[in-house]
Homo-oligomer: A and B are copies of this chain.
Amino acid sequence: MTDARTPPHDGPESRFLSGYDPHAFAPAAVTVDVVALTIRPEGDAGEDGARRAGTPHVLLTRRAAHPQRGWWALPGGFVRAEDGPDGPADPDLPDAALRVLSEKTRLPTELHLEQLGTYGARGRDPRMRVFSVAHMLLAPDLPDPHSGRDTEEAAWVPWSGLGLGLGEDTRADRDLAFDHGRIIADAVERARSKLEYTALATAFLPSAFTITALREVYQAVWGRTLHAANFHRKILATPGFVEDTGELAEHGGPGGGRRARLYRAGGAALLHPPLLRSTQ
């Protein structure tokens, strides 16, 4: 690829650049927002207390500063475009996303980060024109967050209660700042869809996991139960999805049960064939 090589006309170009005033443009700010998704053991839905398979959560913060002080929002912040008093410039957008997230929670060693999209409608921030590059981060069970600069409070919030249409009663949405409700909805839909045709589900799990744990990720994200036996076979029949570690889980199930084999993520990024959720 031809990434920012020296252009063919060097003389005029360097003369042009030296006379260039970067402040001549209308002010616009670029921020990163991170939709951090994880699966935590107990949600708010403990129907009978019997089986707690984990429910999906998103990391939210309460804004301590204007604008929209006191509202729940995604962790985010301005991209450092150039070196300055606050610190060195962010080399690229993923670096900025990890930097702002590390102010809210400890980052796991293994994580999946991808860009979701950029939101730049006029009027979405009352201060000025803001372009927010949203990212989605998937990680295994993360610890409780800590408050940071500009943040009163940070918490893992279950997807239920955010009105994402997973079949739960769409109760009492929290008030989300800016257009962060839409960004979270886009992230959740992206995650649900990518579970079908990529090996993304392993990003929610530690380095060694059982097929049942993998199935519980699918069930939590899709909000639907899957046939355990057929799921097991299908995962093992998909080349490169998982590979056997040769070890067994420490214990069987909580109320008895065979010890499950442990697998690690395989090399495949795309699943052939995909695990379709279409057929009810």
A-side interface residues toward B, CB under 8 Å? Answer: 1-5, 7-9, 12-13, 16-17, 20, 22-23, 25-30, 66-71, 78-82, 84, 89-93, 115, 117-118, 120-129, 131, 133, 173, 175-182, 185, 197, 272-274, 276, 278
- Count of chain copies: 2
> What chain B residues lie within 8 Å of A278 (beta carbons)?
272-273
B197 and A17 contact, CB distance less than 8 A: no
A66 and B131 contact, CB distance less than 8 A: no
Q: Most chain-B CB neighbours within 10 Å: which of A70, A80, A128, A181?
A: A128
> What chain B residues lie within 8 Å of A90 (beta carbons)?
122
> What chain B residues lie within 8 Å of A67 (beta carbons)?
7, 13, 16-17
Kindly state the separation between the CA atoms of A132 and B176 in the bound complex, as whole angstroms: 27
Chain B residue at smallest Cβ distance from A184: B1
Contact of A4 (CB < 8 Å), options: B5, B20, B123: B123
> What chain B residues lie within 8 Å of A5 (beta carbons)?
175
Chain B residue at smallest Cβ distance from A25: B29
Given A2-B177, A17-B127: 11 more A-B contacts, CB < 8 Å: A3-B179, A3-B182, A8-B69, A13-B69, A16-B67, A17-B66, A17-B67, A25-B27, A28-B28, A30-B120, A92-B120
B117 and A2 contact, CB distance less than 8 A: no
B17 and A125 contact, CB distance less than 8 A: no
Kindly state the separation between the CA atoms of A126 and B25 in the bound complex, as whole angstroms: 16
CB distance from A18 to the nearest CB of B (A): 11
Q: A1-B185, A7-B68 are in contact. Are A91 and B122 (CB under 8 A)?
A: yes
Q: Most chain-B CB neighbours within 10 Å: which of A1, A16, A29, A197?
A: A1
> What chain B residues lie within 8 Å of A70 (beta carbons)?
7-9
